[in-house]
Amino acid sequence: MRRPGLRAVVGVLTLLLLPLFGPSSTAAAKPQTDPLSTALPISYHADMAVDAVHRRLYIADIVTGSVLVTDFDGRLLRTLRNKPGAADLVLSPDSRTLYVALSGGDAIAAVDTATYREKARYATGDATAPLRLALAGDALWFSYGSDWESNIGSLDLSGARPTVRLGLVPWGTWAGPPMLLSSPSAPGVVIAGEQYLSSANVTVYDVSSGDPVVRTSQDHPGGVGSVVDLALSPDAATLFIVGGYPYHHLAFRLDDLSVVHTYPTTNYPNAAAVSVTGQVAAGIDNSYGQDVYLFQSGADTPSRVIDLEPGTGRWLRAHGLIWSPDGTRLFALTGEYGANLTLHVIPA
């Protein structure tokens, strides 16, 4: 019997060792840069929230009255049902409680993030339809109502029996429930943005006293139309106010709402998010073309431009971007009329 020669032995060894040391190993070691995509069982969304402790993403759907729960790779883990008109989401500082504005239930639900059970439901009053939430200190602030009968209220969580207060700003201030935003980096501050008028107002309230006091207010800041998204930098010094016009993304100084930087994007801005590292994600309503522009803070050109679903006619959802708490991945939602949404996980 003829023994295999040295060349044959080397060839066999090479084939055996390729998976360990060859091109496939090199490919596996390369960082993931392409988005991971997951089809979702909903065709609309109202808000998203990220949970650093449990590594979860929550997506509220006002139409089905539910909240989807995914992991940070976009895998759908659970659907929280019986959340009528689930419109906005806020996590407690310790990530143990997810608050859900129930615009169809005149209440705010408190969900245990460890068990997904609803541990409390706080009534906000008949026909209040709370739409947007912001947590500042021991109070949940919420916008509610409809048309010019809209206002801002609060849910005081500090006592043994949480209490609701309504009508905390002058009636007629808002043409509909404003978008709300807060940050632990700006204690005692709640930002409100007009969603229902083409000439939008943005107001920064000082709520440290328990009542909203206007700190600064501006109509049509930077020429922005109706507000479709608000985002704060990690230090809360810079506020992004997003509307369909003008055709770029604007950063404002929170103290006086003056423009501090213009990020060049294109037509119909509809989303913004800023990572813990300061990376700016600027979203566009664009059926055929780039959806997301990524900038280093203060940059004049994007470091990366992403077309999430080329050639499909699907677009980025308004208010459809959010970063993971560590800034390593960006979550984005795309869709089209009547079709289910897609969740994209974009590695940074």
What gap in Å lies between CA 273 and CA 66, rounded to an integer?
Answer: 24
Q: What is the pLDDT of residue 164?
A: 98
pLDDT of res. 1: 41
Secondary structure (DSSP) of 110-140 = EEETTT--EEEEEE--TT----EEEEETTEE
Write down the pLDDT at residue 32.
53
Residue range 276-305, pLDDT digits in tens: 999 999 999 998 889 999 999 999 999 999
- Rounded Cα–Cα distance for residues 104 and 60 (Å): 13
Query: What confidence score (pLDDT) does residue 22 get?
Result: 40
Percent of the chain residues past pLDDT 70, beyond the cut: 91
Low-confidence residues of the chain: pLDDT under 70: 1-33
Q: What is the DSSP letter of 237?
A: S
- Candidates 262, 254, 256; CA nearest to 224 is 262
Backbone angles phi, psi at 224, to 5 degrees: -70, 135
Bridge partners of residue 153, in order along the sequence: 142
pTM of the predicted model as reported, rounded to 2 decimal places: 0.90
- The confidence score (pLDDT) of residue 200 equals 85
Burial class (CB in 10 A: 0-12, 13-18, 19+), 140: buried
